Structure formats: structure tokens, C-alpha cells
Amino acid sequence: METLNAAELLAALGHESRLSIFRLLVEAGPAGIFASAIGEQLGMAPATLSFHLAHLSRVGLIRGQKESRFIRYTAEFPTMDELIAFLTSNCCQGEACLPRASACDTTAKRRNLETNTNICKES
Amino acid sequence: METLNAAELLAALGHESRLSIFRLLVEAGPAGIFASAIGEQLGMAPATLSFHLAHLSRVGLIRGQKESRFIRYTAEFPTMDELIAFLTSNCCQGEACLPRASACDTTAKRRNLETNTNICKES
DNA sequence: TCCATACTTCGAATATTATCGAATTGTTCG
DNA sequence: CGAACAATTCGATAATATTCGAAGTATGGA
């Protein structure tokens, strides 16, 4: 990943509203959630929400799929994986190359994946 | 780490110039480098560089230590570690909780640490 | 067809960031 | 002391981002 691209992803996540949106989508897992649900949970005006969703979509961190009147948004995990790999590889110290003991549990627990392979070290 | 704080760190890194500065400091390791060297390598006007260094310092990603006329800047690795832990724990998918095979080598190689413990998996 | 819903796009105001020349501070050295 | 140098702060400008009401698009249902 190029520095420019990484900076774009970081900037996209570097806004409280967008980071909250993204975390919500990660929590929701592959099932995702509808735009209206996001707006409801975060108390955001529809236009503002759309603005941020468009931004996150543009850089490839999320994806929206129309379903009748609704749009289901999901996190693009591979993009995030790449970003974390970039940070780990270019911006972190040796001791942190492996995630902390506590790093893996939170997200892993609430996930319901088809592929149930959790490579996380059991702390 | 709170979402607000994480967003601040991400926003700080979400600018090409600042990300380049930070990568340079990570590359330099604990020895760090002088501000002038950064400006030289990145071709940045002194005032602009100071602006970005101040930003990175404010959020705790780097630290500057005066040495006679110069200021030696170093990356604050623990802050970055926390950020990566936050992202891994809150924003990534199971398969990515462990870094990619290639994630650890680049940075680890060029580092010359007092603590020489490299926990990275040998790929 | 007509209305309600879900969401986006438009447009315009406001706020925040970035850039960099010029002035300033602090330090070394002749 | 005075000049040269490293770096920051100031100040003004330009560029970019954020917010959200209002209008537009598309879908589902009465």
C-alpha cells in the first residue's frame, strides 16, 4: 500500500463520526446494517450521514448494497486488514507487531462468520 | 482508548506529509533525527514542517528533544502500539488479528533497539 | 395514482486545515 | 558583541471539510 492511499484511509477514519460509523459496521459483521439504523444510533442528520458514508465508500472502507428501499452497509474488512498491515509493517515497533493479549477478543466474540477460523492467540 | 482519541491519532496520520514524517521517524528508530534532516528529506518549508511536527507532538505520536541548536524528534512507539491495538480490537476481522506474514520484517530489520526482542513470527 | 419512506444530491454557510514568508527565539562560534 | 544557523511562532491567504435544510430519486404499499 502506498503512503498516499494509506493517508486517505487514515484520514477517512480520522473523524469521530466516521470512525463511529465504521466501528458500528465492524460490530455488525458481514450482515451489515441499514443506513437508517446507523443514523438512528448515532443521532446524525440524514444528509450528514450520507456525506460520511460516501466518504468511507469512496476510499473503500465500506460498501453499500441496495435492498429495496434500504441500503445495507457493510465494512470492507480486507481494506482494513491492509491498512493494519501497512501500519504494523511501516509504523510500529517490534514488540507491537503481534497484537496485545486483549486485542483479539472484543471483535471476535461478537462476530458470526461463515469461516469460523479465529487465528487469535488465546490470551 | 476512546474513539475520540483514536480519531485524533488517525487524523494526525491521515495527511501525506505527516504520515511521511512519522514513517521517517519510525525508520530512524529510537535514535530519531533532527528536524532539519526531515525537512531536507521531504522537501518541506521550515514553517510547514514545524506545523506538522507540532500536530504530531500534540497528539503524542512523536516527541522532540532539544539538543543545543537542534531538535531531535523520535517516534512515540507506545502511542502507535495503542492505536494499532485499538484498530485490531475494534475495527478488524478475525483473520487479520495476526499481522500478515510480511508485516513484521520491514520495520524490524532496520531497527536497532536496546531491547532486542522481536516477537514477530519468522515468516 | 398518490402518499410515505429511505436515501442521496444540491447548495450555501460555516469551520477547520494547510501553506509559507516574515519576524522571533535561542544557540554556537568567530 | 555580532553574524550565522536551527527551529518556532505569527499572520495572512488559500484550500478543504463539515453541516444540514431543501429538493430530487427511487421504491413499496394503499
Query: Nearest nt to A70, CA vs C1'?
Result: C6
Chain centroid to CA A86: 15
d(CA A65, CA A88): 31
- Of the options 1.10.3720.10, 3.40.50.2300, 1.10.10.10, 3.40.50.300, the CATH number for the domain spanning A3-76: 1.10.10.10
Interface test with A, best of B9, B74, B107, B118 (most A CBs within 10 A): B107
Q: Which of A6, A19, A97 sits opposite B99 (nearest CB)?
A: A97
Closest alpha carbon to A96 in B107, B57, B11: B107
Quote the cell numbers at residue A39. Answer: 443514523
> Which pLDDT belongs to residue A3?
75
Could you tell me where in chain A the CATH 1.10.10.10 domains are found? 3-76
Residue located via cell numbers 541548536: B69
> Which pLDDT belongs to residue A117?
34
> Which pLDDT belongs to residue A95?
52
Dihedral sign from CA coordinates of A113, A18, A92, A87:
positive
The answer to whether some atom of strand D lies closer than 7 Å to the beta carbon of B56 is: no
pLDDT, one tens digit per residue, over A70-121 is 999 999 999 999 999 999 988 876 554 444 434 444 444 444 433 333 333 3
The answer to whether some atom of strand D lies closer than 7 Å to the beta carbon of A15 is: yes
Report the residue of chain B nearest A8, measured CA to CA: B14
The answer to whether some atom of strand C lies closer than 7 Å to the beta carbon of A7 is: no
d(CA A107, CA B82): 16
Cβ-based neighbour number of residue A78 at 10 Å: 12
Chain centroid to CA A38: 14
- Backbone phi, psi, residue A82, to 5°: -60, -40
pLDDT, one tens digit per residue, over A10-36 is 999 999 999 999 999 999 999 999 999
> Which pLDDT belongs to residue A119?
32
- The strands making up B62-67's β-sheet, listed across from edge to edge, are B33-34, B70-75, B62-67
SS3 per-residue string spanning A80-116: HHHHHHHHHHHHCCHHHCCCCCCCCHHHHHCCCCCCC
The residues, any chain, with a CB within 8 Å of residue B72's CB and separated by 6 or more, are B32, B33, B34, B64, B65, B66
- For chain B (length 123 residues), average pLDDT per consecutive 10? 89 98 96 98 98 98 97 97 92 56 41 36 32
Residues of A in contact with B81 (CB under 8 A): 92-93, 95-96, 100
